[in-house]
Amino acid sequence: MTDTLRDFDGTAVLMCAANGDPLREERDAIDVIGEAMYLGAAWVAVPVERLHDDFFRLRTRVAGDFLQKFVNYRLGVAVVGDVSPYTEASTALRDFVRESNRGTHVWFVPDTEALRLRLTRA
């Protein structure tokens, strides 16, 4: 499976494939951002499966550095999938997810349908 561009009610979303190399570093974010910009996407959907476990350990700063790149390039990014195993183990991550979901640039959603619904309300 490869990354695909989908239209969610007028919003172009790059859907990253669940398989592939784990996304861990800022340069991985930049690669995805470059693809999204080339395709004209306004949002990027990253499956939980693609993110390295360090992403979910806030002390590593991987999540902050990775997500900040998207904000800097004015691209929305959604982490798609079940993050509950990680949030149950970390109060800090649970708070981070909750605060991110209050914003307009970084969301954690359970599935692509939830992302589509959220984008139509944005």
pLDDT for the residue 17:
96
Percentage of residues of the chain with pLDDT beyond 70: 98
Model pTM?
0.94
Residues whose CB is less than 8 angstroms from the CB of residue 59 and which lie 6 or more positions away in sequence, other chains included = none
User: For residue range 31-81, what is the model confidence (pLDDT) as tens digits?
Assistant: 999 999 999 999 999 999 999 999 999 999 999 999 999 999 999 999 999
**Structure confidence at residue 122 (pLDDT):** 67
Q: What is the pLDDT of residue 72?
A: 96
Q: What is the pLDDT of residue 38?
A: 97
Closest alpha carbon to 52 in 8, 20, 9: 20
For the chain, what is the radius of gyration of the CA atoms? 13
Tens digit of each residue's pLDDT (9 = 90 or more) over 5-31: 999 999 999 999 999 889 999 999 999
Tell the burial category of 1 from Cβ atoms under 10 Å away from its Cβ (0-12, 13-18, 19+). exposed
